[in-house]
Chains A and B, each alone.
Chain A
Amino acid sequence: MSQYRPMTEEELRERVRKLKAEYNPDRVDMFTFRGAQYDHGLAWVHFPEGYGGLGINPKMQAIVADELRKGVETVYDDLAINPIGIGMGAPTLMTYGSDELKRALLRKCFTGEEIWCQLFSEPGAGSDVAGLATRAVRDGDDWVVNGQKVWTTLAHVAKWGLLVARTNPDVPKHEGLSYFLLDMHSPGVEVRPLYQITGEAEFNEVFLNDVRIPHRYMLGQEGQGWQVAITTLMNERTALGGGSTQKGGGPIQVLMQLWNARPPKRHAPAEAAVLRDRITRLYIESELLRLTALRARAMMRAGNPGPEGSVGKLAQAELYKKIWECGMDVLGEEALVYEPGYALRRPAHEERRDKVLLAKYQFLRSRANSIEGGTSEIMRNILGERVLGLPGEPRTDKGIPWKDIPRGG
């Protein structure tokens, strides 16, 4: 990729050391440190200078992460701070946003001062995102938005929302969409918690009643919303399917720790053997998920992106569900008792250090793995059609104006 300017690993490391010398992450607060990291071009190294980057190869971000870890206790996890803003919003904004928007938003996105959420799904449009019904109508310099979104992670704390809305119902569904950045504090935005199977409300319903969005907050052109949304979704799936980067790390590590903390006293030898084989299978699949992601990266580097990368999201979702199911079986009757008051609260996204609590929580939470960010069925369609080249299903909505497509109740 010749558009990236060269920089040696040592120069980059030196830059990180300089940052840490001026702003010791153990001594300054998160916003200050991450703000300085952004100003030093170390937030997204492949972004241009002045936008949190240095215009160098994105591979080198790993060097920054490595150097940041050295000799300090405080290490920030981007995706824990602002998963949607950093993982999906920033790359979309970088590709389609105006300079004015980039300057106004990228820094606070990276520091975590402003949390982002994603307003794509609707009660009537889940996997079929392009079928969404939220309307945006032009009124002078503004767009006036009405509709309802759902499954909106972090909406209750978000300052900015990535919104796709229908600006033209008279053309086929993919052509009539536009993409906006919505200030979640605008009048007419109402966020209601949506309690989940875990008893928590990480998700929300968002009601949009005559919400006004200035035209300059549109990303891409009018009617180009689907292409912009694809950028967001591709970044989402990349963020979602590579497993742990560490050998034996991630969920399988927790499962093995649970197993080893409970010598198979409760089980007859034959039962223990069955569980042990199940755990070993899951260990193998976890390793292969990790190794397949490494292989995908090697192929990318060699300039031959193959199917290795696209299997990750599907494989990870199905694997994680199996791991946490097995966790419950390892815990046995201990798993019947949940922590008091687990039902109906809003999570503060605290870390769950207690392995038993984590396993019980994840057993429920991981049900969403095969639904969020593209269901396993959608992922199989994508693998079948885009990787294996199998023919698409006959579509009854192709070429038909959105307003004429039949919709269920």
Chain B
Amino acid sequence: MDFAFTPEHEELRQTVRRFLQDRSDEATVRRLMVTEEGFDRATWAQLAEQLGLTALIVPEEFGGSGLGPVELAITMEEMGRTLFCAPYFSTAVLATSVLREAASDAARQELLPAIAAGKKIVAVAWAESPGIWEPADVRLKAQHGRRGWTLTGEKTAVIDGQTADEILVVARTREGLSLFRVSGSADGLQREALPTLDLTRKLARVRFQKTPAECIAASADVEAQLQRAFLLGLVALAAEQAGGAQQCLDMSTQHAKTRWQFGRPIGSFQAIKHRCADMLVAVEFAKSAAYHAAFRAAEGDAGELDAAARMAKSYCSDAFFQVANDTIQVHGGMGFTWEHPAHLYFKRAKSSALLFGDPVHHRDKLAAIIGV
């Protein structure tokens, strides 16, 4: 059944929302976004210990809650609303999903409980050129020598790559695509924090020079497994975008009700009202896209998920950007200032649209699926 949120889902949403109201207010976001780490360790510990959110999609056998894509989408949507600054997407979504889908039991045994407990930040190093994210595009080579595996090459747009305790690296061996694990303190590992458009999500460039690595997945299925992890990442990101878009719409309508010009609230002018109505359509469609993808992911039908996830990423990217853009316009000069949060959402919107492949890329893939 489509879109059947349960009372437990609503409760999860309320819990996450209350926590973020407290811990991710605008002042906190602004304070954290200019720090090097980009997040607050005490809040991270609370998120893990009190709310159990880092354990959300970790299977129960590894100390997690064993929940699925729908609960993840709800959480990400709420985080998107407040631009929550934390390594949640890198660690609790991407790394967890990659480990769950592809890694050896030993690696899961070691890493998943630590992630679930909030004790480890784990990043995923995947893209090599900006915007190229499909598993098939990975070129970085792993070599096997006398002392085991080493990696040589470069990865970019590694989310939280600067602070991660461990990095999961997608690389190519003679046999095909494989997954490696590199310690944050490994020899020959160079990490460079990138100055980013979106200050609230930290990205790093990571260089490997004969860096020792442990191979944690090398079967013939790795590409398909990574593909599933990637698609779940798209679903989570789309949900985050839908949440950001909803927040922008809320800010805009609030402003349109209280800002007066020419003797009346600006929201009474059709020029503003109609723009807000169009924003509402975009937000509702974005939610439909994100929820639909989350429910398809929960069903585990790979074919359906492929189309639904790409549809969601493509639409939510465009919708969030449109709505964030309109938010600046509705706020007028105020919307263009550093003091107003509109630019933070605007920047998140463009960054998220380009991360993991842009809307055109996903429409190209979708077109092939639907036979256009």
Q: Is A279 an interface residue (CB 8 A)?
A: yes
Quick one: closest A residue to B273, CB to CB?
A384
Number of interface residues of A (CB under 8 A): 42
Bound-state CA distance A34–B102 (Å) is: 58
Identify B367's interface contact among A277, A389, A392, CB under 8 A: A277
Contacting pair A280 B257 (CB below 8 A):
no
Contacting pair B257 A384 (CB below 8 A):
no
The stretch among B137-145, B224-232, B283-291, B347-355 that forms the contact with chain A is B283-291
Contacting pair A390 B268 (CB below 8 A):
yes
Q: Is A388 an interface residue (CB 8 A)?
A: yes
Identify B364's interface contact among A277, A285, A288, CB under 8 A: A277
Bound-state CA distance A7–B45 (Å) is: 53
Bound-state CA distance A395–B257 (Å) is: 17
Q: Is A248 an interface residue (CB 8 A)?
A: yes
Contacting pair A308 B370 (CB below 8 A):
no
Q: Is B114 an interface residue (CB 8 A)?
A: no
Given contacts A315-B285, A380-B278, A390-B267, contact A281 B291 (CB under 8 A): no
Residues of A contacting B273 in the complex (Cβ-Cβ under 8 angstroms): 380-381, 384-385, 390
Contacting pair A391 B284 (CB below 8 A):
no
Mark contacts of B266-300 with chain A using CB atoms, 8 A cut-off: 1 yes-contact digit, 0 otherwise: 01111011101110110011011101100000000
Contacting pair B277 A388 (CB below 8 A):
yes
Q: Is A377 an interface residue (CB 8 A)?
A: yes
Which of B2, B269, B370, B372 has the most C-beta atoms of chain A within 10 angstroms of its own C-beta? Answer: B372
Given contacts A276-B367, A279-B372, A307-B280, contact A389 B257 (CB under 8 A): yes
Contacting pair B281 A315 (CB below 8 A):
yes
Q: Is A287 an interface residue (CB 8 A)?
A: yes
Identify A383's interface contact among B277, B292, B363, B372, CB under 8 A: B277
Given contacts A248-B370, A389-B257, contact A380 B264 (CB under 8 A): no
Given contacts A294-B2, A295-B2, contact A377 B367 (CB under 8 A): no
Bound-state CA distance A248–B288 (Å) is: 16
Q: How far is the CB of A370 from chain B (nearest CB, A)?
A: 13
Mark contacts of B57-96 with chain A using CB atoms, 8 A cut-off: 1 yes-contact digit, 0 otherwise: 0000000000000000000000000000000000000000
Bound-state CA distance A357–B302 (Å) is: 38
Residues of A contacting B315 in the complex (Cβ-Cβ under 8 angstroms): 284-285, 288
Q: Is the interface of B mostly helix, strand, loop or mixed?
A: helix
Given contacts A256-B372, A276-B372, contact A284 B2 (CB under 8 A): no
Identify A256's interface contact among B277, B284, B288, B371, CB under 8 A: B371
Residues of B contacting A308 in the complex (Cβ-Cβ under 8 angstroms): 284, 288
Quick one: closest B residue to A315, CB to CB?
B281
Residues of A contacting B281 in the complex (Cβ-Cβ under 8 angstroms): 311, 314-315, 383
Q: Which residues 242-262 in A have Cβ within 8 Å of B in the complex?
A: 248, 256, 259-260
Mark contacts of B342-372 with chain A using CB atoms, 8 A cut-off: 1 yes-contact digit, 0 otherwise: 0000000000000000001001101100111
Q: When A and B form their complex, what is the total count of cross-chain residue pairs whose Cβ atoms lie within 8 Å? A: 126
Quick one: closest A residue to B274, CB to CB?
A380
Q: Which residues 356-393 in A have Cβ within 8 Å of B in the complex?
A: 377, 379-381, 383-385, 387-393
Contacting pair A287 B311 (CB below 8 A):
yes
Residues of A contacting B364 in the complex (Cβ-Cβ under 8 angstroms): 276-277, 280
Residues of A contacting B363 in the complex (Cβ-Cβ under 8 angstroms): 277, 280-281, 284
Identify A280's interface contact among B3, B253, B268, B366, CB under 8 A: B366
Q: Is A298 an interface residue (CB 8 A)?
A: yes
Residues of A contacting B372 in the complex (Cβ-Cβ under 8 angstroms): 256, 259-260, 276, 279-280, 283
Residues of B contacting A105 in the complex (Cβ-Cβ under 8 angstroms): none
Given contacts A380-B270, A380-B273, A391-B264, contact A288 B253 (CB under 8 A): no
Residues of B contacting A111 in the complex (Cβ-Cβ under 8 angstroms): none
Q: Is the interface of A mostly helix, strand, loop or mixed?
A: helix
Bound-state CA distance A285–B278 (Å) is: 14
Q: How far is the CB of B205 from chain A (nearest CB, A)?
A: 31
Q: Is B106 an interface residue (CB 8 A)?
A: no
Bound-state CA distance A294–B270 (Å) is: 29
Q: How far is the CB of A170 from chain B (nearest CB, A)?
A: 29
Mark contacts of B1-12 with chain A using CB atoms, 8 A cut-off: 1 yes-contact digit, 0 otherwise: 111110000000
Bound-state CA distance A393–B271 (Å) is: 11
Q: Is B256 an interface residue (CB 8 A)?
A: yes
Q: Which residues 193-219 in A have Cβ within 8 Å of B in the complex?
A: none
Q: Is B265 an interface residue (CB 8 A)?
A: yes
Q: Is B156 an interface residue (CB 8 A)?
A: no
Identify A390's interface contact among B257, B314, B360, B371, CB under 8 A: B257
Identify B277's interface contact among A287, A288, A291, A314, CB under 8 A: A314
Residues of B contacting A394 in the complex (Cβ-Cβ under 8 angstroms): 264, 268
Q: How far is the CB of B311 from chain A (nearest CB, A)?
A: 5
Bound-state CA distance A389–B291 (Å) is: 25
Q: How far is the CB of A389 from chain B (nearest CB, A)?
A: 7
Contacting pair B267 A284 (CB below 8 A):
no
Residues of A contacting B284 in the complex (Cβ-Cβ under 8 angstroms): 292, 307-308, 311
Q: Which residues 309-330 in A have Cβ within 8 Å of B in the complex?
A: 311, 314-315
Contacting pair B265 A391 (CB below 8 A):
yes
Bound-state CA distance A308–B246 (Å) is: 13
Residues of B contacting A315 in the complex (Cβ-Cβ under 8 angstroms): 281, 285
Quick one: closest B residue to A383, CB to CB?
B277
Residues of B contacting A259 in the complex (Cβ-Cβ under 8 angstroms): 372
Q: How far is the CB of A261 from chain B (nearest CB, A)?
A: 12
Which of B314, B315, B363 has the most C-beta atoms of chain A within 10 angstroms of its own C-beta? Answer: B363
Residues of B contacting A292 in the complex (Cβ-Cβ under 8 angstroms): 284-285, 288
Bound-state CA distance A393–B3 (Å) is: 36
Quick one: closest B residue to A309, CB to CB?
B284
Bound-state CA distance A276–B291 (Å) is: 26
Contacting pair B257 A288 (CB below 8 A):
no
Q: How far is the CB of A303 from chain B (nearest CB, A)?
A: 12
Given contacts A256-B370, A381-B273, contact A291 B289 (CB under 8 A): yes
Contacting pair B360 A383 (CB below 8 A):
no
Bound-state CA distance A280–B359 (Å) is: 11
Bound-state CA distance A283–B270 (Å) is: 30
Identify A288's interface contact among B270, B278, B288, CB under 8 A: B288
Bound-state CA distance A295–B283 (Å) is: 13
Ranked nearest first, the 6 interchain pairs of A and B with the lowest CB-CB distance are: A384-B273, A390-B267, A380-B277, A383-B277, A291-B288, A380-B274
Beyond the given A276-B372, A277-B360, A280-B372, could you list 4 further A-B residue pairs with CB under 8 A, ordered by the A residue number? A276-B364, A284-B366, A380-B274, A383-B280
Chain A contact residues, CB within 8 Å of chain B: 248, 256, 259-260, 276-277, 279-281, 283-285, 287-289, 291-292, 294-295, 298-299, 302, 307-308, 311, 314-315, 377, 379-381, 383-385, 387-394
Residue contacts A-B, CB under 8 angstroms, 22 given: A248-B370, A259-B372, A279-B367, A283-B366, A284-B363, A307-B284, A315-B285, A379-B277, A380-B274, A380-B278, A381-B277, A383-B276, A383-B280, A384-B276, A385-B273, A388-B280, A390-B253, A390-B257, A390-B268, A390-B276, A391-B267, A394-B264
